[in-house]
Amino acid sequence: MSLEPQELAELKLNIGRDPTSTELQIVAAEWSEHCSYKSSKKHLKMLPMKGPLVIHEKGYDSGVLDVGNGYVVTAHIESHNHPSAVEPYGGAATGVGGVIRDILSAGTRPIAILNGLRFGNIETDKHARWLFKNAVTGIADYGNCLGVPTIGGEVEFDDCYHNYALVDVAAVGFGKKKNLIKNHATNGDLVVLLGGSTGRDGMGGSQFASDSLESEDRSAVQIPDPFIEKLIIEAILEARKQKLINAMKDLGGGGLSCAVSEIANTLEVGIEMDVDMVHTRESNMHPDEIMISESQERMLIITSKTKLKELQKICKKFRISCSVIGHVKSDNQMHVKKGKKTFANLPTDVIVNATLLDLPSKKPVYLKTIEKEKKLRPIFDYSKIMMNFLAAPNIASKIWVYGQYDHEVGIRTVIKPGHDASVLRLDNGKFLSVKIDGNPKQCYINPREGAIGCFEEACRNVVCTGAKPIGMLDHLQFGNPKDPEIFWTFLESLKGLTDFANHFKIPCIGGKVSLYNETPAGPIKPTPLIGVLGLIDKKPLIPQRISDGDCLVIVGDTKDEMGGSEYFEYIHKFIGGKCPSVNFVESKKNMKVVLKVIQSQLLKSVHDCSKGGLAVAISELCMTNQIGCRILLENVPGEKLDVDRILFSESHSRYLLTLDKKNLKKLETMLKKSKVSFKLIGKFRGKKIQFTKGTKSIIDLRVDIAQKTWLNSLKDLVLHG
C-alpha cells in the first residue's frame, strides 16, 4: 500500500525534497495501477479512438457519440472486482454508482445500465453462490432505487474465478449536444465538493484494487446509498441546465487525491484546498484519510464565484450537502491545507504522470499444446446431453438475474433483456442497441482470437436488432502484469481488438483496464469484455412470435472450432482445442447482408449463434416461442463435420434468420446476390425440438420440458443449492 522504492526516489528527485506523509498518500493513490494505468497506457494508444461520430473534450470520464439531430449518447464501462470479491452486495452496488457518475460528469442523463458478472463454479462452490446472489441483489437494489433501467448484460461461471468475482458495469447516457459540459476553469473559480459525506470507508481502495487479493487486508469496502446518488443526478442536471458548472469530475478510485489532481492537470490550473472544509461523517479524520477516502456518491465541481449562490440553492432544494473546499489558482500546484497549515504542495503533473512501464512479455508455455484435442468419450444419447446442457449455469436462462432488475423504468426499453442485444428509444426518433460480451474460455486458449471473438459477438448481437455498430467500449481484465506470460496475453488481446476495430471502422470510445485479478489458486483467465453500441436510424427488428410453418435459415459457416466451447468444458471437462477465429472478410459480408435483409422487412427475428453452438441457439428460439422445430443437420453449411461439432461448435459470424415461408424466395435471392454462405436448415412446427442427420434422429426433446429446465435451473441452483 505504498510507493515502490524506485518510485519514491523518482518522486524525491522530481520535487527536490522528501515528500510529506499526505503527499505520499496522494501520490501512492494516483500512481497505483488502478489510476495511472502505468502498465497498460503505452499500449492502449494503439486502439483507434477517432471516428466521424466521436466527440472529444478534455476531462471526460465517458465516451461521447453524436447520434444526430443535436443529441449525443455517452457510454462508459468500469469494474468493481476487488470490492465485490469481499463484499458482493456493496461492491457491486457501488460499482453501478461509480459508472453512473462518469456518465453524469459529461452532463448527460444516465438512461441504462448493463452488467457483466463472473464467478466461480456455482454448482460445487457455496461461496461462489453467495457472491453471485449478493452481487445480483446489490445491482438490482441500486439500479432500481435510482430509476435507471438495467437493460442487459451477461453472466458466466468458470473455475478460474474461484473465491473471486468480476463485476463489470457499463452505463449509457443521453442528452443534448449543446448541454455537454465544456470543462474549463479560470483563476479564482471555486472548487465545490457535492454529495455524500467523507468517511473512513473505502480507504485506499485504488491501491487495494491494484494488489492481489491474497493478503488479508480487506478494509476497502464502501456502503452504497442510491438515494443520495439519485439526488446528485437531479441536482447536477439542474445545475447544468442553469449553466452553473464550469468543470466537473466524479470521485472514484483515489478519492479527492485523484479527482483534484487530475482535474487541475487536465485544465492546466492549480487548486488550493482546505481539508477542514470537507464535510466529513466522522470527527478527527486525518488529512491523509480525507484525501484518500473513497466514500461513495460524491462529485467535484468547479464553478464561478458569481454562480455559487445558485448552486447552493439547488443543493438545498435536493437536500444534498455541498461545501466549497478550495479555489482555482494559476500555478499548476495541488496545495492541500488544514486551516493555515500546509500538508501537501505538489506540481499536478508530477502527481498525475506516473512513470509508464514497458513490461516484458513472453508467450505462455501452456499455449504450445493447448490446441491438441484429447480423445473424447463417445456420446450415444444427444437428447440427454442436451437436457444437461440446457440446465448448465452458463447455458441456462438468466431470467432469475435480469428478472430482479427493473429494465423498463424510463420507458425507453424497446427490446428487453433475454434477447441478443437490448434496444433503447432515443428522443430523436432513432434507436440505440447495446450489448456487452466476454468469453474467457476462448481467450484463455487464444487471447487474440478470443478477444476478437468477443468483439464480433457483441457486434453480431446489435446487428441482430438491425443496428449498425458505431462505437466500442473495452474492459481488459487480466492477472498480474508483471508476469511476462500474462502481459503477453494482454498485448495479444489488445492487438486483436485493434485490428478488428480498424477493419470495421468502429472507434473505441472508452474503456478500463483491471489488472492484478488473482485468486489464491492463480491468475484469472484473460477476460476482455467488449461493449458495442449500435444505432438504428429507422426501426429496430423486434422479434416477432414464430409460428407453425416458419422457416429457419442460417447465414455463415460452421467450422471445426471447439476450443473453449461450453460443450468441451462442461460436458467433457476438457480445456483445449482450436479456438474459433473470425474471418474479417466473411464477418463483414455477413453483417452487411443481415442488416440489409432486416431493413427489407422479410424477417421475423434474427438470433446470434454463440455459446453452446447451433443446438443451443435453435433450442432458445423454440423455447422462447414455445414451438417445436425439425432441423436437418446435413444442410448446415460449412466443412463436413461430425454431429457433435455441427451441434456445438461456437464458430463466429453465424446468424439464425426466422421468417414466414412466403418470404423465403425473396430472402434467398438477396443472400445469393451478396455471395454469403447460407442455407435453409429447418422449419418450425409441432411441440418437439428435433435434430436429424439423414434418416437418423439425433436430438428429440419436448419443448415444454426443455423450457422448464432451461428457465428454472439457475434459480433452483442459487436458491436451493
Partner 1 sequence: MATFNVHVTIENKPGISDPEGDTILNDLVLKGAHKTVSKIKTAKMLKFTIKEKDKKAARSKIQKICDELRIYNPMVSTVTIDVFNA
Could you list the active site residues?
A: 34, 80
> What is the smallest separation between the CB atom of 226 and partner 1, expressed in angstroms?
8
Question: Are the C-beta atoms of residues 27 and 19 closer than 8 Å to each other?
Answer: yes
Residue 373: which of 216, 658, 568 has the closest Cα? 568
| CA 289 – CA 21 distance, rounded (Å) | 11
Please give the size of the binding site for partner 1, defined by CB under 8 A. 20
Question: Are the C-beta atoms of residues 190 and 303 closer than 8 Å to each other?
Answer: yes
Question: Are the C-beta atoms of residues 433 and 535 closer than 8 Å to each other?
Answer: yes
> What is the smallest separation between the CB atom of 713 and partner 1, expressed in angstroms?
24
Residue 516: which of 87, 209, 102 has the closest Cα? 209
For partner 1, the closer CB: 315 or 575? 315
Q: Is 531 in the site for partner 1 (CB under 8 A)?
A: no
Q: Is 225 in the site for partner 1 (CB under 8 A)?
A: yes
| CA 132 – CA 526 distance, rounded (Å) | 20
> What is the smallest separation between the CB atom of 227 and partner 1, expressed in angstroms?
7
Among 23, 154, 201, 406, binds partner 1 (CB under 8 A): 201
Residue 562, C-alpha cell as written in the block: 471447439
Q: Is 221 in the site for partner 1 (CB under 8 A)?
A: yes
Q: Is 57 in the site for partner 1 (CB under 8 A)?
A: no
Question: Using CB atoms within 10 A of its CB, is residue 672 exposed (0-12), middle (13-18) or buried (19+)?
Answer: exposed
- Helix axes of 126-146 and 703-720: crossing angle, nearest 10 degrees: 100
Binding mask 470-489 for partner 1 (x = CB under 8 A): --------------------
Question: Are the C-beta atoms of residues 465 and 415 closer than 8 Å to each other?
Answer: yes
Among 41, 184, 200, 416, binds partner 1 (CB under 8 A): 200
Q: Is 718 in the site for partner 1 (CB under 8 A)?
A: no
Q: Read out DSSP for 449-506?
A: HHHHHHHHHHHHHHHTTTPEEEEEEEEEE-S-TTSHHHHHHHHHHHHHHHHHHHHHT-
Residue 408: which of 430, 394, 423, 393 has the closest Cα? 423
> What is the smallest separation between the CB atom of 695 and partner 1, expressed in angstroms?
55
| CA 46 – CA 499 distance, rounded (Å) | 9
For partner 1, the closer CB: 221 or 598? 221
Q: Is 282 in the site for partner 1 (CB under 8 A)?
A: yes
Q: Is 183 in the site for partner 1 (CB under 8 A)?
A: no
Contacts with 696 (C-beta within 8 Å, 6 or more apart), sequence order: none
| CA 32 – CA 253 distance, rounded (Å) | 10
> What is the smallest separation between the CB atom of 719 and partner 1, expressed in angstroms?
16
Q: Is 317 in the site for partner 1 (CB under 8 A)?
A: no
For residue 152, the tally of other CB atoms under 10 A from its CB is: 29
At 560, is the secondary structure helix, strand, or coil? coil
Scan residues 62-91 and list those touching partner 1 (CB under 8 A).
86-87, 89-90
Q: Is 255 in the site for partner 1 (CB under 8 A)?
A: no
Among 32-40, 223-231, 416-424, 451-459, which window interacts with partner 1 (CB under 8 A)?
A: 223-231
| CA 558 – CA 640 distance, rounded (Å) | 9
> What is the smallest separation between the CB atom of 213 and partner 1, expressed in angstroms?
12
For partner 1, the closer CB: 189 or 201? 201
| CA 324 – CA 273 distance, rounded (Å) | 9
> What is the smallest separation between the CB atom of 21 and partner 1, expressed in angstroms?
20
Residue-level length of the chain: 721
Among 99-107, 220-228, 474-482, 666-674, which window interacts with partner 1 (CB under 8 A)?
A: 220-228
Q: Read out DSSP for 325-380?
A: EEEEESS-EEEEEETTEEEEEEEHHHHH-PPPP-------GGGGTTTPPPPPPP-S
Q: Is 223 in the site for partner 1 (CB under 8 A)?
A: yes
> What is the smallest separation between the CB atom of 224 and partner 1, expressed in angstroms?
8
For partner 1, the closer CB: 19 or 91? 91
At 575, is the secondary structure helix, strand, or coil? coil
Angle, vertex CA 13, rays to CA 8 and CA 17, nearest 5 = 85
Q: Is 196 in the site for partner 1 (CB under 8 A)?
A: yes
| CA 461 – CA 446 distance, rounded (Å) | 22
Q: Could you give phi then psi for residue 5, rounded to 5 degrees?
A: -55, -45
For residue 408, the tally of other CB atoms under 10 A from its CB is: 11
For partner 1, the closer CB: 231 or 571? 231
Among 191-199, 644-652, 662-670, 698-706, which window interacts with partner 1 (CB under 8 A)?
A: 191-199
For partner 1, the closer CB: 299 or 546? 299
For partner 1, the closer CB: 226 or 563? 226
> What is the smallest separation between the CB atom of 379 and partner 1, expressed in angstroms?
39
Q: Is 274 in the site for partner 1 (CB under 8 A)?
A: no
Scan residues 80-139 and list those touching partner 1 (CB under 8 A).
86-87, 89-90, 130
Q: Is 141 in the site for partner 1 (CB under 8 A)?
A: no
> What is the smallest separation between the CB atom of 470 and partner 1, expressed in angstroms?
38
Q: Is 466 in the site for partner 1 (CB under 8 A)?
A: no
Q: Is 279 in the site for partner 1 (CB under 8 A)?
A: no
Q: Is 608 in the site for partner 1 (CB under 8 A)?
A: no
Q: Is 612 in the site for partner 1 (CB under 8 A)?
A: no
Q: Could you give phi then psi for residue 330, rounded to 5 degrees?
A: -105, 10
Among 295, 489, 517, 527, binds partner 1 (CB under 8 A): 295
| CA 645 – CA 650 distance, rounded (Å) | 9
For partner 1, the closer CB: 84 or 257? 84
For partner 1, the closer CB: 88 or 471? 88
Binding stretches for partner 1 (CB under 8 A): 86-87, 89-90, 130, 196-197, 199-201, 218, 221, 223-225, 227-228, 281-282, 295
